[in-house]
Structure 1
Amino acid sequence: MSRKPTIEDVARVAQVSVATVSRVINKQGGVRKPTEERILEAIKELKYVRSAVARSMVRKETKTIGVIIPDICNPFFPEIIAGIERKAIDQGYFTTLSSSSGSKEIEKKIIDHFIERGVDGVILTTADESGEQISSLVEANIPVVAVDRAIKNFDVDTVLIGNQEGAYEAVQHLIEEGHKKIAIISGPHDTTPGLERYNGYIKALRDAGIQVEEQWIGDGDFMEQSGYDLTKRFSELEDRPTAIFSSNNLMTIGCMKALNDIGWKLGQEVSFIGFDDVEIATFLNPQLTTVSRPMRSLGELSFELLLDRLNAKEEKPKMKRQYILTPKLKVRKSCQFPK
């Protein structure tokens, strides 16, 4: 092997997880003797040598927090990261940021790297809400906090937004403005935000006695292009919607670009509400009505929960904690009575 062997190489040769190799290297116990011997043999065979950072794991503290987000280009996440970093620095911790690009395979590689680097804890917006990717963190006894998306199969602390509540309020506002033909650009239903915002849309329509029309439901992927494509599709319907609800900021940007290209006049021929207060919201004419989330608070609370776990690491584990922060509808000028 020409390159320097890594802990992942040892885990592969020994046919165990990275977390199990880490436990043997750092003499943490809890590994069966035959497995330990197999790992030690792999270390010898590969001539694996721990880095200085990995050796610091023996002290069980590196003052480093790993942060994983799915999309570094999404303006929603920098505010969360800013909240984490502000609190972390105050407590003498530093953050290491990685983006999974929405791939559970990349997320797993990042997690293995974090374990090797000896991070004290991890805050993540997961690409896979089943929780499969974080099993090695749990095995290594590294505290985890999930932010914005829930993790189903592991009891980890979670900080979420009232997605259904925010979507319900947005659609209800459109209904109060006189709209009945309301389309949604939905996010993926296998994510907490995508499913909950869709459910809020459906509930608002049904509570108002408005029939749900499949032609006005667009399944997006939280990316700009899907917002663009779905808006064009709505515009080509024989029975156009009079209002659109977009489920995230990037799809909102795509929607605005499509409206401009099509010549579908915002605030005159179609009304609009977006989820997330995007930068362009107040620059457009008319200004966009949006559901605003307390992004900085999401990050700050996430770190506070993680710090609490770190400080109580040797004590009896606490029960899983979940906090749901409240979004706020910011009413501007993009919702007019339909003509």
Structure 2
Amino acid sequence: MGLSNSEPAFKLINGIKWAYLKRGNGRNLLCMASTYELFEKIEKKAKIDFHSLYVQKQIIGLSADTGGFRNLFNKFSALKRKLKLQGGEIEYEMCGGDVLLTRLTIDLNYHNVNVKGVGLYEVQKDIKDEWAPKPVKSISTTHAAVNGTVKSIEQSAKLLPDFINHGYPQAPLGNKDKYTLFHNPYNGFADADWKCIQDSTGIFGGTQAARQLAAAIEIAAKEHREVNWTVHERGCAIFKQALRLVNTAPQYDYSKQTVFYANAVVNIELIDQQRKRVGMQLSKKGFLTNKTSVHQGFIAGNWVSESAILWQMGNKGGAITKGLARITKIGGATTFSIAMPGLMGAAPWVIGLIGMLGPNLFARYSNQ
């Protein structure tokens, strides 16, 4: 947070002593001198705790972004604003081009208290032989997963091991093994669709959950940890946005993290662009698509994109076979609730596809 072991620099504003948290690029960011130790505590915890890193990044982000849709304006003063966070909020005001943090209400233990909410959970079988989640601060397991639309965290914990084992048959989960779950709860299909649209397109900066997932991925990268990600259904959207947000500085090594896409309802080729950008690996299985799902295949554009992914993986024969098979399978019905996030997530794919329509569509698209 721009903090160090040296004494902070101070500035007097209207007789009040303020400490610099960040200065230089962007707006200067200051807090009251009496609260400086709290921000030091957040910075230290951010090295090992995804929620603290998430909070730290939101605070520092105010030096570059104090407007837009994420910030609430005070109805009595345009200079006073508020940023809502998972587990708290930040009140601040603008003064001479500086950002003054006037009030920080945050529970750094929020994830442990808000069990079953957004965050990381270590999952292991209990004495009843059921997968049981417990909150953790960072990833310490070989396997990690992001859930899709489910009714509860218990359902996620039970469902995902089968997808993990399908994506990584060379390293399956045993009865005594653990995996890490990034759980993102959904309050019905309308809530799930809206979150999926936000993260698929990146509008409004995506969801707060995507920012928390990005923090968890960053900590694993800085620790050079090997992680096998299994990203399920609508979880592919939040994973896509998280990869847009992660720090790509040299000290972050994403090459030891691998991704498997399971039943993605957004376009896997667009997600895969973000994976390649940060340097993550693609699992040998690559992806799993439900052959009977018009949503996963046609609406999200994956009946074309899965062939393109296979081509990039070096399996050109498989790409051609799958592509030709798909030609005869387009059909079925879908609902607005199912189609909307898929269409939004696949919008760049559709726009690009229009310009390539022609007799050699498949060959031209697969080679890109």
The normalised TM-score by structure 1 is: 0.33
Higher relative contact order (CA 8 A, sep 6+): 1
Between Structure 1 and Structure 2, the one with more helix by share is: 1
Whichever structure has more strand as a proportion of its residues is 2
